[in-house]
Structure 1
Amino acid sequence: MKPFILFTLSLILLAGCSTTALVNTQNRLPETNTTAQISLFELNNYTDTPRAGMRATNIVEGVLLAQGYHLKTHINQKIDSLEDAQDSAQEDKSDYFLIGGISEWRYKTGIDGEPAVSLQLSLYSTKDAKLIWSATGSDSDWGNGSIGSTAQNLIEQMTARH
């Protein structure tokens, strides 16, 4: 009986150390087996961490490329509005454009310093700037985890085609 109680407590502790929250629109990302192109813009950085938007955008780019999407990356281009992103995507002849923001990109304070990431992604149709897909997610990990791996796992969950 004692090993069972220890095992159960271990599972509860392990489950409590990593937290993921995720909200997606009902729509899915477009199929990857088409020639549709996505213009990807640097995610807005709403954190105190320098270059968090660029770092997260780089991970989004890698995940989407690995999933088979065709991208035109504007990782160094700042956009001021939805219309600016739409104009650039039209110049690229992209079918879609992806924008978003980072609201948390840090190591929590405390003994373990767990990584914590929160971000939002939105995919729009270039033709009419209509929202096609959106996801918002937050994740934290163990103290020995990195922000990059935590962000990559979160982005993979956000963009997964269920």
Structure 2
Amino acid sequence: MTHTLKTISWLAALSCAVLLAGCGSLTTGGSSNRTTMVQAIAASDKVAMLPVSNFTDVPQAGLRVEALLETALRRSGIRQLVVYPPALNPETLFEPSERKAQAEAEKWAKAQGMRYVVTAAVNEWRYKVGVDGEPAVGLMLQVKDLSNDQVVYSSAGGRTGGSREALSAVGLHLTTELVAGIRVEQAGTPDKAR
């Protein structure tokens, strides 16, 4: 009888451990949601970060992601990063509205002599409803070469965190993971994958 109780206790503990391990998850990479970036962004290339599209019902989620994305792009080695002018982003605290057409933002980037544009969309930015209130983030990221209007990198992912994690921390982890696939040539070094 005690052997059976020990086995049941052990199985219960193992089940709890497996359940807890599944609380935080990240889904990125793989052939289904990340393309390989063939060409690297040269140190001399100008890169424009365009407005992040907000497809959530959370006001200013796009602006929050933009702050994280700008940091991650600069940390990746992109030296000539230019952030779009605020006039191209109609999302405000008091009157959240749809973004202007992506074509208008790309037109601005071309007029500024940019080689690449980075675009993104946030489709989830919330704490899940329930007892734990876990943070959940879903993002899409693309790099487009303006010299030929081709998307050279595309990635999407989602991440959830534990009930005690901050939403911004989960967003930063996911943003950093998505940006990690962007190839950047460091000044004075040959073209290499990051």
Say yes or no: TM over 0.5.
yes
Q: What is the CA RMSD across the aligned residues, in angstroms? A: 2.3
Q: 1:151 aligns with which of 171, 180, 191?
A: 171
Pairing of 1:14-53 with structure 2 (within 5 A): 14-22=20-28, 23-27=33-37, 30-31=40-41, 34-53=43-62
Give the Å deviation of 1:106. 0.4
CA distance in 2, matches of 1:12, 1:49: 32
- What SS does structure 2 have at the residue aligned with 1:132? strand
Give the Å deviation of 1:127. 1.5
CA distance in 2, matches of 1:30, 1:66: 15
Give the Å deviation of 1:92. 2.2
Give the Å deviation of 1:72. 0.1
In 2, are the aligned partners of 1:58 and 1:75 still within 8 Å (CA)? no
Q: Within the alignment, does 1:74 sit opposite 2:94 as a pair?
A: no
Pairing of 1:1-162 with structure 2 (within 5 A): 8-22=14-28, 23-27=33-37, 30-31=40-41, 34-70=43-79, 71-74=81-84, 76=86, 77-78=88-89, 80-161=100-181
- What SS does structure 1 have at the residue aligned with 2:21? helix
1:34–1:118 CA distance, 2 compared to 1 (3 A): same
1:40–1:132 CA distance, 2 compared to 1 (3 A): same
CA distance in 2, matches of 1:61, 1:145: 22
Runs of 4+ more than 6 Å apart: 1-4
State TM-score, norm by structure 1.
0.87
In 2, are the aligned partners of 1:39 and 1:96 still within 8 Å (CA)? yes
The letter of the residue matching 1:19 is S
CA distance in 2, matches of 1:67, 1:134: 16
Structure 2 residue runs of 5 or longer lacking an equivalent are 1-5, 90-98, 182-193
Give the Å deviation of 1:120. 0.7
| 1:83-119 deviation per Cα after TM superposition (whole angstroms, max 9, x unaligned) | 3232211222221001121110000011111000001
In 2, are the aligned partners of 1:53 and 1:101 still within 8 Å (CA)? yes
Give the Å deviation of 1:144. 0.6
Identical positions, percent: 24
Residues 6-15 or 94-103, more deviating: 6-15
Give the Å deviation of 1:14. 2.9
Whose Rg is larger? 2
Structure 1 residue runs of 5 or longer lacking an equivalent are none
Structure in which a larger fraction of residues adopt strand: 1
In 2, are the aligned partners of 1:40 and 1:75 still within 8 Å (CA)? no
